[in-house]
């Protein structure tokens, strides 16, 4: 299997372009699923406080025997903890639950525009970064106008913006803003939770390359320069999703996949989502 490329973030941190997402994996299934991914060759795990499975991710990392320094682990600040003191405490709790002394990347999960002020939350994230216990900090589900406030009102440019991206939601505006500001785009739900996989355009391209429609979709993301972390609890799919670095999509195939865009989300709209679990 060909190696996963690395991407260097704006703070110098190096992140594998493909990882393993653990959203909606039940806590009792997370250790085995994460171990399967690590055994397959994944070295980047994307979790969150909201997913309720950080503890099991940590257990899998230790049980894998892989040196912590060879792994890249991301977690995200949960929505109720946007106030400074809460954010600092919640970050400490993440480290405790994972059993780590640092995170590679810590993100604000949602901007929650009607609850507190995400600029103040970002200032707490800056404090966490300066403690050295999060190597990089970033955001998730930020629209350009949310990012613009961080850029105008604070001294730290987020290293990544993790947003929903797939062929039904190509996010051209958000991705262009990220790129202009040296922020790497991370594409969540990269296969739209499986919804895109029956598209004839993808089937045709997949047939010509001897690949699956999931592999073609993930390949489209990496050729666009985004970071992806498909989720699967099915071992054969975990292997399939990693095996995308031995073929190239031509420009017209890339364009055909992008033309599936219909600005359709599988998840909430960040401008109106203010959910406190």
Ligand X SMILES: NC(=O)c1ccc[n+]([C@@H]2O[C@H](COP(=O)([O-])OP(=O)(O)OC[C@H]3O[C@@H](n4cnc5c(N)ncnc54)[C@H](OP(=O)(O)O)[C@@H]3O)[C@@H](O)[C@H]2O)c1
* Residues tagged active-site: 51
Considering only residues 22, 38, 108, 137, which one is a binding residue for ligand X as defined by CB under 6 A? Answer: 22
Instruction: Write the DSSP assignment of 206-237 as a string of letters.
Output: HHHHT--HHHHHHHHHHHTT-EE----S-HHH
Q: How far is CA 82 from CA 28, 112, 114, 125, 227, in A?
A: 28, 9, 12, 10, 25
Kindly write out the interface string for residues 232-251 of this chain, putting x where it contacts ligand X by CB under 6 A and - elsewhere. xxx--x--xx----------
| Both structure tokens of 110 | 């949602």
Minimum CB separation of residue 74 from ligand X in Å reads 8
Does 125 engage in binding with ligand X (CB under 6 A)? Answer: no
Closest CA to 104 of 229, 240, 269: 229
Provide the token pair at 52. 């309720």
Q: Which stretch binds ligand X (CB under 6 A): 116-124, 202-210, 229-237, 245-253?
A: 229-237
Give the footprint of ligand X on residues 48-107 (CB under 6 A): none
CB of 167 to ligand X, least distance (A): 11
In the bound complex, what is the minimum distance in angstroms from residue 166's beta carbon to ligand X?
Answer: 7
Among 144, 151, 267, 273, contact with ligand X (rule: CB under 6 A): 267
* Residues forming a β-bridge with 76: 107
What residues numbered 165-204 form the site for ligand X, per CB under 6 A? Answer: 188-194, 197
- Tally Cβ neighbours within 10 Å of residue 40: 16
Which CB, 144 or 267, lies closer to ligand X? 267
Q: Could you tell me the smallest distance in angstroms from the CB atom of residue 214 to ligand X?
A: 3
Q: 3-class DSSP state for residue 20?
A: strand
The number of angstroms, rounded, from the C-alpha of 130 to the middle of its chain's C-alpha atoms is 22
Please give the residues from 31 up to 50 whose contact with ligand X meets the rule CB under 6 A: 46
Number of residues that bind ligand X (CB under 6 A): 28
Which residue's CB comes closest to ligand X?
Answer: 21
* Residue 186 CA: distances (Å) to CA of 17, 80, 190, 194, 215: 9, 23, 9, 18, 17
Binding site for ligand X (CB under 6 A): 21-24, 46, 109, 140-141, 162, 188-194, 197, 214, 229-234, 237, 240-241, 267
């Amino acid at each position: 299997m060909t190696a996963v490329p690395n991407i260097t973030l704006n703070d110098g941190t190096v992140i594998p372009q493909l990882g393993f997402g653990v959203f909606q994996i039940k806590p009792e299934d997370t250790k085995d699923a994460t171990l399967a991914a690590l055994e397959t060759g994944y070295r980047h795990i994307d979790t969150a406080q909201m997913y309720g499975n950080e503890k099991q991710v940590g257990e899998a990392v230790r049980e894998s025997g892989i040196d912590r320094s060879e792994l890249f682990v991301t977690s995200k600040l949960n929505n109720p903890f946007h106030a400074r003191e809460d954010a600092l405490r919640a970050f400490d709790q993440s480290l405790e639950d994972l059993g780590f002394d640092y995170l590679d990347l810590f993100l604000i999960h949602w901007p929650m525009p009607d609850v507190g002020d995400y600029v103040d939350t970002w200032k707490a994230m800056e404090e966490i970064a300066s403690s050295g216990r999060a190597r990089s900090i970033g955001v998730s589900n930020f629209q350009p106008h949310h990012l613009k406030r961080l850029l105008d009102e604070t001294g730290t440019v987020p290293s990544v913006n993790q947003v929903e991206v797939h062929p039904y939601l190509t996010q051209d505006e958000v991705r262009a803003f990220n790129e202009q500001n040296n922020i790497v785009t991370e594409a969540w739900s990269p296969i739209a939770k499986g919804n895109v996989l029956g598209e004839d355009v993808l089937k045709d391209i997949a047939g010509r390359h001897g690949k699956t429609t999931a592999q073609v979709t993930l390949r489209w993301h990496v050729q666009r320069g985004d970071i992806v972390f498909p989720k699967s609890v099915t071992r054969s799919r975990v292997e399939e999703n990693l095996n995308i670095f031995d073929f190239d999509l031509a420009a017209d195939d890339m364009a055909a996949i992008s033309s599936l865009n219909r600005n359709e989300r599988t998840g909430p709209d960040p401008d109106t989502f203010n959910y406190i679990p």
